[in-house]
Amino acid sequence: MPNLSWRDAITTVLRGSTEAMHYTEIAEAIAKQELRTEFGATPAASVNSIISVSIQNEGNDSPFIRVDRGRYWLRTPPSTQPQAAGIPEQHPVPEPDETGLINAFGMYWSRSNVLWTSTPRILGQQQPGSTAVDFCNEKGVYLLHDGRTVVYVGRTTDQPLGIRLRQHINDRLNGRWDRFSWFGVYSVDEDGSLTASAVTYDLTMLIVTMEALLIEGLEPPQNRKRGDDFRAVEFLQVEDTEIQKAQIVKLMDELKKKL
C-alpha cells in the first residue's frame, strides 16, 4: 500500500477525475484508493487545508484551482480531458468554508453501540479509516428515535451529550428509543479533540441552520436534499470496543456456571 503525502494523494485523485471535486469527495477517494495509511480524525479538513494553503501561498504556481465553494480541480488537467480549455474562473485566495452554527452531526446512531457507563463514549469517525472521535462532551441538540420516528427532542447545555443521553436510560424514556441523532456546535480538531470556537453569525445563517435541522430530523418526503448551505460534517458511528470485551466476559461467566 502506498503512503503518499496529502498533497501527492490529492493530486493523484484529481488526475483521475473528469471534473472538479469537493474536498470531502477527495478525502473519501484517497481512502478508497488506499493512497495513505494515516488519516487523522478530520481527513476532509486536512484535504481542504492542504489545497487552500497551496493556492494562497503559491498563487499561480499552485497545481490546484478553486472552481466553486469547497470544490477544486487541477490547474492543468490531464491532456485527455477535453474540458481543459473551459476551466471555470479561478479564486486565488479561497473563502473559508464556514459550517455555520452546527459543526458536526450524526444521524440514527444505534443505542446498542454505546457502553452506557457514567461517562459513555459516543464514538464516531468522519470516514472509514479515520481516527475515532469521542463526542461525549459535545454540546448542541439531539433527537431520540423509536425506529425512524422521533419521540423526543433535547438539548445539551449545562450537561454534555453523553451524560444527557445516559439519563434517558434511566428515565421514563428508557423503553421508548433505540437510536439517536445529534447536532453539535463544537468542531473537531485533527487530533480528535473537540473545540469550542467563537461563533459569529447573521440572520441568514441562523435560518439556514434551523431549516437544516428540521430537514435532517424530520426527513420530509418533498425535500430531496438537506438545507442549502448546510456544511456541517457528518460523522459515522463506531461501536465501542469495550462492548465486545464485556460480551466475551459475560459469555465466559455463563460457561463457568454450566461447568
For the chain, which domains are there?
6-86 (1.10.10), 104-244 (no CATH)
Mean pLDDT of 185-194: 91
Q: Regarding predicted confidence, which is higher, 52 or 197?
A: 52
For 204, the 3-state DSSP assignment is: helix
**Confidence label for 16 from pLDDT (cuts 50, 70 and 90):** very high
pLDDT in tens, 33-69: 999 988 999 999 899 999 999 999 999 999 999 998 8
pLDDT in tens, 136-188: 999 999 999 998 899 999 999 899 999 999 999 999 999 999 999 999 999 99
User: What's the CA gap between 195 and 233, in Å, rounded?
Assistant: 14
Q: What is the pLDDT of residue 253?
A: 75
User: What's the CA gap between 53 and 64, in Å, rounded?
Assistant: 10
Q: What is the pLDDT of residue 156?
A: 93
Q: What is the pLDDT of residue 97?
A: 47
Is residue 239 exposed (0-12), middle (13-18) or buried (19+ Cβ within 10 Å)? middle
Beta carbons within 8 Å of 114's beta carbon, 6+ residues apart: 120, 121, 122, 123, 165, 240, 243
pLDDT for residue 125 is more than 80: yes
User: What's the CA gap between 209 and 105, in Å, rounded?
Assistant: 12
User: What's the CA gap between 75 and 87, in Å, rounded?
Assistant: 8
pLDDT for residue 224 is more than 80: no
Question: How would you classify the pairing of strands 236-237 and 123-125?
Answer: antiparallel
